[in-house]
Amino acid sequence: MSSPYPLLPPTSSATRALSADASPRRRTGAVPSGRRTAGVLSAVVGLALAGALAGGVPAAQAATVAAGAPQAPSGGVATAYVADAGSNAVSVVDVATGTVKATVANVGDDPQGAAAAPDGGHVYVPNIGSNNVAVIDTHSNTLVADVPVGSSPTAAAVSPDGGRVYVANLGTDTVSVIDTASDTVAATVTVGAGPDALAVSPDGSRVYVADSGGGGALSVIDTATDAVTATLPTGGVPVALALTSDGSRLYVADQGSATLSVIDTTADAVVATVAVPAAPYALALTPDGSRLYLADGPANSVAVLDTAAGTTATIPVGGNPQGVAVTPDGSRVLVTDLGAASVSAVDTGDDQVVGTTPVGADPAGVAVALTVPAPVVTGVSPASGPPGGGTAVTVTGSHLSGATEIDFGPGRPAASFSCGDQSCTAVAPPGAVGTVDVQVTTPGGTSATSQGDQFAYAAADVGVTLAASPRPALLGGSIVYTVTVTDHGPSALTSATVSALLPTPMAAASGGDCTVGGRDVSCSVGALAVGASATRQFTVPVGLLTLGLPYKVTVDRSASSPIDLNTANDAASRSCTVLTSLLIDCS
């Protein structure tokens, strides 16, 4: 059922203004009654409340991106990172399939929130029980750092340039500022009582902090000085923040009074208060700003606010929803159901639950990152080449686009390469004889090794010998020449050809193992293992030979694969002298 949200007047006749010198009111850091603390959203896009705001922000508004800020990867896969507070783990959910593709265990005690870096490369998870922030590498879905912060951290937000993470420490009334380059705390800022949510302005110059204790307030941090420059007493229990893409409006969810406050950040004033049907725990907006989704906790539902019409609908979800996030394309809303140990997926086209994914115990916060899948190499063609390099190779697989490097074994980058999503062309560098793995590196990581990615730097030393066997006869005497080809390694031989140009007036007879054409002889062999040999024969009649003269026949390797690096044993010769048709001497 839909019903309009009534707009409530401000708590006083005059608009509440930010007080630059307001003294922060501290508290012990206890969790607000009736609520398991969960991390909530940082910066999100615009909202309009049915014309309730003078000069309101349009529902669809272009995002403001700081110059040089890292961008989400093109072609990234929407991946949800769910803080499983009861399992001390993070579930990694493929949004498209609704399957858990990884679990990052032992992130800390009682993980509460999750915040994704702008480029999707890392996710930051505050742990309220162990007073630290876990840093997860989304390429490998592994824990790569553990940053100690203040007491009872509940929420995190990442700056637009990805250089800083701001952490709300509920128990010490502070915000820790983490330098992401070193994964260390660079500053600690004292704010109001019970900080429980954060939002960073689009230009990164301000951090807004929801102070849920002491009657409720909003602290504003100047990121240039890491100091609080203003405080707004909001009243109630503010637990979630949402900021428009241009930073002009800030929306504050008040769990204590089940309302949504709207703050004009230019005037530093509350310009409207909107009643909502249940205590909001978290907020998320669609990218076009047309709808606001509110996790309604004990109501076991998600409220949907049409920001243009000012009407709402309710979507039943699992028990006690704590966190909510919208995918970057706006097609799905993900809701953590703390009471059901699951994540509900809502199709924004019709606002219906289209799937439920079991996760760890007590899922609280959730963040969606556009992650780049690790590349996969399934084939290399040709699969061998000379140690000198220069072989043009086609590498096939998946998720290969955006490759930054292709290596033919450790420390041997391709001389040049270009890649699409399913194939790359690369020029092999020089390498030592042997088999190497061809690995592709992209922003999603480096491909795992497999039999399909192997390339052999191959060289086969072809040894050629020649034997001459006289076949005397009264009529039709001949000489049978036997060519022996041996693979001396180190690689297996694929093929070889041995050729000879017979001296005049010799001419080979047809019918042997070799191809003959008058004085031209060509003998071919196929694959040979290292140490193996093959023989070929051709016959020369002696009837045309001058008696008493020696005739020298030389055979030479004319072609072979792989490359032969040793030419010293490529040729062999034998000389024969015909004294009579019954007396032939070969040496």
Our CA dihedral for 357, 358, 360, 361, rounded to 10 degrees, sits at 120
Q: Note whether 213 and 206 are within 8 A (CB).
A: no
376-457 and 460-586 have identical folds: yes
Amino acid 59: pLDDT? 31
In angstroms, what CA-CA distances link 299 with 111, 276, 278, 571?
Answer: 23, 12, 7, 90
Cα–Cα distance between 90 and 164 in angstroms, integer?
21
The vertex-122 CA angle with 119 and 282, nearest 5°, equals 90
pLDDT in tens, the chain (587 residues): 333 323 333 333 233 333 333 322 222 233 333 333 333 222 222 233 333 333 343 333 333 334 445 555 556 789 999 999 999 999 999 999 999 999 999 999 999 999 999 989 999 999 999 999 999 999 889 999 999 999 999 999 999 999 999 999 999 999 999 999 999 999 999 999 999 999 999 999 999 999 999 889 999 999 999 999 999 988 899 999 988 878 888 889 998 888 888 899 998 888 888 888 888 999 988 888 788 899 998 899 999 988 778 778 899 999 999 999 999 899 999 999 999 999 999 999 999 999 999 999 999 999 999 888 889 999 999 999 999 999 999 999 999 998 999 999 999 999 999 999 999 999 999 999 999 999 999 988 899 999 999 999 999 999 999 999 999 988 888 999 999 999 999 999 999 999 999 999 999 998 889 999 999 999 999 999 999 999 999 999 988 788 889 999 999 999 999 999 999 999 999 999 988 878 999 98
Neighbours of 566 (CB within 10 A): 12
Amino acid 68: pLDDT? 47
Q: Note whether 417 and 441 are within 8 A (CB).
A: no
Amino acid 534: pLDDT? 97
Encode burial over 138-147: b for 16+ CB neighbours within 10 A, e otherwise: bbebebebeb
User: For 376-457, CATH number?
Assistant: 2.60.40.10
Amino acid 74: pLDDT? 56
Amino acid 49: pLDDT? 39
The domain ranges of the chain are 3-11+40-51+82-371, 376-457, 460-586
Question: What's domain 460-586's superfamily in CATH?
Answer: ntegrin, alpha v. Chain A, domain 3 (2.60.40.1510)
Annotate 210-229 with DSSP letters as a single string. Answer: EE-STT-EEEEEETTTTEEE
Amino acid 17: pLDDT? 34
Query: 475: buried, middle or exposed (CB in 10 Å: 19+, 13-18, 0-12)?
Result: exposed
Nearest CA to 300 out of 285, 317, 283, 286 is that of: 317
Question: What's domain 3-11+40-51+82-371's superfamily in CATH?
Answer: YVTN repeat-like/Quinoprotein amine dehydrogenase (2.130.10.10)
In angstroms, what CA-CA distances link 487 with 306, 433, 560, 562?
Answer: 77, 15, 10, 11
